[in-house]
Amino acid sequence: MSDLDRVLAQVDADLDASLERLFAFLRIPSISTDRTYAEECRRAGQWLTDDLATLGLDARLNATAGHPIVTGTSHAGAARRVMFYGHYDVQPVDPLELWENPPFEPRIVESAEGVKRIVARGSSDDKGQVMTFVEACRAYVKVLGKLPVDVTIVVEGEEESGSANIGTFLASHKDELKADLALVCDTGMWDAQTPAIILSLRGLMHDEFVVRCADRDLHSGYYGGAAANPLHVISNIIGSIHGEDGRITIPGFYDGVVEPPEHVKAAWSQLDLTAENFLGPVGLSDPIGEKDRLLIEMVSTRPTFEVNGLWGGYIGEGAKTVIPSIATAKISCRLVADQDPAHVRDVVRAYIRSKLPADCTVEFLGGEGSRAVAVAHDNPLLARAAAALGDEWGAPAVTYGEGGSIPIVGQFKKVLGQDTLLVGFALDDDRIHSPNEKYDLASFHKGIRSWVRILAALAE
């Protein structure tokens, strides 16, 4: 047997013990958003630190102003080093009454279709995913006595509560965290049989603006038809931002947007992402994005402008016939490619100002943002990882962009100068952040085997 085959065989033989370790990790209620669980977060970090030490790694529990950060580093002098990132904190479990079993008592449940699933809070997001990488490293150490590449493992305890301290930690430890590539296991498969690598994440700019017109609320019978209504003003502005073709009409908004290569778009067109299977489950049927774009482009590689909240005037029970003096809107823009959040903020604000009637003023209360991140489609390490996943799952890995934002991945590029491959084994039905969260046993088992293959490919 080859070394790779021997390590894969070790993964299979050790699966029951791997599950026992995962279950011990899952039993710790490391809810980062609730300060009453601070000691449990520390206990989860310490548990993982102790486990990494058994692999011969230099394992440390690093104090921060919040929950600690776990690091584990190998120093074998390999030709390549990778940094693996994940998180040990989990979401709150409310509403507790909707759980079929206690959320921190993990168990294997078999579905009506015969699919075995690990059910517990954190099973998919992100303890189960973290342990796929840790268990792959364990198998290498048991069989070969070393890892094929040097690794630096970084697992934080505040991802679910805003990652307040990881950025400072990266900046103050950038020399020791330097690697050729970052790996993240906090994403999903394309479907239950098809692995995926996320090549890009959209950035984000969010803002809030307040429009003021009259100096007080006005009687709508006395002033109606003559006085400016800030709710009308905001509605008119928002209504003008998207053209009939779905494009955003704000001048300069698309600065920095680039087109994916034609061969990539051709591959996307072969994927079965349709309005029926994507929008249908949420009660919708008709995509409202740019008319000349594939659905997968709309939700992953094109920028967006969304209204997240709009309010003003009287919203209590019954009628109050006023023209409000103030109205407020919250907006967010998902960004792609080389779009600059500050530039997008500026052009959005300039557009809003240009649409104001003479008697109205606007105040902006936000403007924070983060850039999109992307890996080049021709990155040779991407090709190796994709081939390794294809070997394990028996299907070519799908490579595409994801519509959400993970700001820490941008920090890996900005602070550490590292590209990131996002390789995860979660499924759309894992009920992440919801009661009865689960992680398929196949996701866990084949996830471990996948990382074994990827590490071998990256070592070549």
Alpha-carbon distance of 411 to 168, in angstroms, equals 10
Q: Answer yes or no: do 318 and 218 share one domain.
A: yes
- Please check whether residue 281 lies inside any domain of the structure: no
- Please check whether residue 387 lies inside any domain of the structure: yes
pLDDT class of 123 with cuts at 50, 70, 90? very high
Q: Answer yes or no: do 128 and 185 share one domain.
A: yes
Q: What is the CATH number for 29?
A: 3.40.630.10
Beta carbons of 290 and 305 less than 8 angstroms apart: no
- Please check whether residue 291 lies inside any domain of the structure: no
Beta carbons of 139 and 10 less than 8 angstroms apart: yes
Q: What is the CATH number for 340?
A: 3.30.70.360
Q: Answer yes or no: do 249 and 125 share one domain.
A: no
pLDDT class of 365 with cuts at 50, 70, 90? very high
Q: Answer yes or no: do 101 and 231 share one domain.
A: no
Q: Answer yes or no: do 197 and 54 share one domain.
A: yes
Neighbouring residues of 77: CB distance < 8 A, sequence distance ≥ 6: 150
Q: Please state, rounded to an integer, the average pLDDT across all residues of the chain.
A: 96
Residue 405, pLDDT > 80, answer no
pLDDT class of 121 with cuts at 50, 70, 90? very high
CA geometry: angle at 402 spanning 398 and 406, to 5°?
A: 130
Alpha-carbon distance of 160 to 140, in angstroms, equals 31
Alpha-carbon distance of 264 to 81, in angstroms, equals 29
| Per-residue pLDDT, 160 | 94
Place of tokens 């590029």: 413
- Which of 332, 349, 370 lies at the terminal end of a domain, its last residue? 370
| Per-residue pLDDT, 385 | 97
- Which of 370, 390, 407 lies at the terminal end of a domain, its last residue? 370
Q: Is the peptide bond before 126 cis (omega within 30 degrees of 0)?
A: yes
Alpha-carbon distance of 300 to 385, in angstroms, equals 21
- Please check whether residue 163 lies inside any domain of the structure: yes
Residue 281, pLDDT > 80, answer yes
Residue 407, pLDDT > 80, answer no
Q: Answer yes or no: do 191 and 233 share one domain.
A: no
Beta carbons of 351 and 391 less than 8 angstroms apart: no
- Please check whether residue 7 lies inside any domain of the structure: yes
Q: Pairing relation of β-strands 361-364 and 373-374?
A: unpaired
Rounded to the nearest 10°, the torsion over CA 135, 141, 143, 149 is 90
Residue 179, pLDDT > 80, answer yes
φ, ψ (nearest 5 deg) of residue 264: -70, -45
Alpha-carbon distance of 256 to 19, in angstroms, equals 46
- Please check whether residue 266 lies inside any domain of the structure: no
- Please check whether residue 383 lies inside any domain of the structure: yes
Q: Show the tokens assigned to 142.
A: 């048991």
Q: Quote the crossing angle between the two packed helices 127-144 and 38-53, to the nearest 10°.
A: 20
CA distances from 453 to 40, 80, 85, 126, 448 (A): 34, 15, 18, 21, 9
Tens of pLDDT, residues 313-348: 999 999 999 999 999 999 999 999 999 999 999 999
Q: Show the tokens assigned to 457.
A: 């490919």
pLDDT class of 410 with cuts at 50, 70, 90? confident
- Please check whether residue 143 lies inside any domain of the structure: yes
CA geometry: angle at 145 spanning 389 and 386, to 5°?
A: 10
Q: Pairing relation of β-strands 420-423 and 196-201?
A: antiparallel
Q: Answer yes or no: do 94 and 151 share one domain.
A: yes
Q: Answer yes or no: do 15 and 153 share one domain.
A: yes
Q: Answer yes or no: do 93 and 234 share one domain.
A: no
Alpha-carbon distance of 85 to 49, in angstroms, equals 14
Q: Answer yes or no: do 191 and 232 share one domain.
A: no
Q: Answer yes or no: do 62 and 184 share one domain.
A: yes
pTM > 0.75: yes or no: yes
Residue 335's DSSP bridge partners are 203
Tens of pLDDT, residues 214-241: 999 999 999 999 999 999 999 999 999 9
Ordered alpha helix ranges (H), 118-191: 127-144, 166-172, 174-177
Q: Answer yes or no: do 48 and 136 share one domain.
A: yes
Alpha-carbon Rg for the chain, nearest whole angstrom, is 25
- Which of 370, 397, 415 lies at the terminal end of a domain, its last residue? 370
> Residue 202: how many CB atoms within 10 A of its CB?
27
Q: How many domains does the chain have?
A: 2
Alpha-carbon distance of 61 to 46, in angstroms, equals 6
Tens of pLDDT, residues 129-162: 999 999 999 999 999 999 999 999 999 999 999 8
Residue 444, pLDDT > 80, answer yes
Mean pLDDT (whole number) for 249-271:
93
Q: Show the tokens assigned to 251.
A: 């001048």
Rounded to the nearest 10°, the torsion over CA 127, 130, 133, 137 is -80
Range of the domain at 59: 3-201+373-459
DSSP assignment letter at 396: P
Tens of pLDDT, residues 18-51: 999 999 999 999 999 999 999 999 999 999 999 9
